[in-house]
Structure 1
């Protein structure tokens, strides 16, 4: 049975969702973030040296990184259904989204989280104005324009189809769910992006998504 090392409020929620879509049995091993630092517990380092989630174990295969896990699971358990065949234009587009989600979309979202915390973090009175000023300047001058650029790009990509991989739901949509939920929580995704808003409504209505939430527990990207 597949074992999912699952950290609350993390990318591993996508893996639970994919397994529910595939109908593949799995076991969850749970880890909780530190409520103050929001970091993963040290126990995860016993599973993977970076101490991050998700990590899966499938027999003798242990694998980290969401995109690699999603591609592996889909190729093994749903080739040609949720993921296109190798060597096709559809597969190249799918692979693009698997990499884009973490390589391009998530960095400005992470910067938004970090500088927003810098802006609000407790600090000595003589340092606080400087820290807030730097944080606000970085946010307004670089981070927020980058977030807007990505939102406009993603909104446009849904112009001809309801799904990012093409006419049918697939793993590209599962991979993109995490950054888009983060965009909705803190990156400016609102009703002014109707296609992306409708996309989130569609995925949240999927039975497999709901089962994954029930199995995975609390899930919130606010912060």
Structure 2
């Protein structure tokens, strides 16, 4: 059987569809919709005990969760010609770093900001003003400075790579991939991991108050969105708020 993607709308599983389209391998999608609470449905718990997406079922029937594990598995299993892999040792270190940075540093900060924006909405009416004041204070004094620091770091690294990488290791339009791309200029694991949080920042309004998203980050997202594989993944995945 082909790979099955257990795909939740507006979730990290969109990055897995993007990778599968780049790999040009057969796969099926099982769609799941968020409830009114924006959480995944209980049906996902029948697939994996964590009830999260993305989750894939491999051709052999094994269930794999967690984006990073899925991206590594798919590239190692299906990209046998060296495609979607960095071209040298230094680039491999970059690829590993950004793959972990996406979920280890960037996404926790963005999720924290999202949670503090939801808490006042869910609080009882009488305590909502107090909850809002507390959450706003935490965001302004702790969360936004952390997100801002991360964004400045990302912007600086993208700008640095744009001036130091050769044309053969950059994406279309001259914007470099985070690890320089493969030998043909395709994205690597780092890009499939980094795209979702950057999409959320650009389209979801999660930048710190008063801070503009750097043009380099916007161009990076735009170049990824232009890729035919991304467009096919978007069409198959369905409505996606961050495209």
TM-score (norm 2): 0.84
Cα 1:221–1:116 change in 2 (3 A) is farther
Cα 1:19–1:122 change in 2 (3 A) is same
1:174 and 2:192 equivalent? yes
Contact 2:48–2:63, Cα closer than 8 Å, also in 1: no
Q: Distance in 1 between matches of 2:58 and 2:121?
A: 42
Query: What SS does the aligned partner of 2:239 have?
Result: coil
Q: Decide which moves more: 59-68 or 21-30.
A: 59-68
1:103 and 2:107 equivalent? no
Match of 1:211 in 2: 232
Q: Distance in 2 between matches of 1:221 and 1:108?
A: 18
Cα 1:192–1:175 change in 2 (3 A) is closer
Match of 1:40 in 2: 40
Q: Distance in 2 between matches of 1:122 and 1:63?
A: 36
Kindly state the Cα deviation for residue 129 of structure 1 after the two structures are TM-superposed. Answer: 2.1
Q: 1:61-106, CA deviations, whole angstroms, 9 ceiling, x for partnerless residues?
A: 3211001100110111114210237x93322221111111011000
Kindly state the Cα deviation for residue 119 of structure 1 after the two structures are TM-superposed. Answer: 3.1
Q: How does 1:75-114 map to 2 (within 5 A)?
A: 75-79=76-80, 80-84=82-86, 88-114=89-115
Q: 1:148-200, CA deviations, whole angstroms, 9 ceiling, x for partnerless residues?
A: 11111111111123210115322211110111011121322886501101101
Please list every run of at least 4 consecutive aligned residues from structure 1 whose deviation after the TM superposition is greater than 6 angstroms.
Answer: none
1:156 and 2:170 equivalent? no
Match of 2:10 in 1: 9
Q: 1:186-216, CA deviations, whole angstroms, 9 ceiling, x for partnerless residues?
A: 3228865011011011011111101001000
Q: Distance in 2 between matches of 1:172 and 1:143?
A: 24
Q: How many residues align?
A: 219
The match for 1:199 among 220, 239, 242 is: 220
Q: CA RMSD in A?
A: 1.9
Match of 1:124 in 2: 125
TM-score (norm 1): 0.92
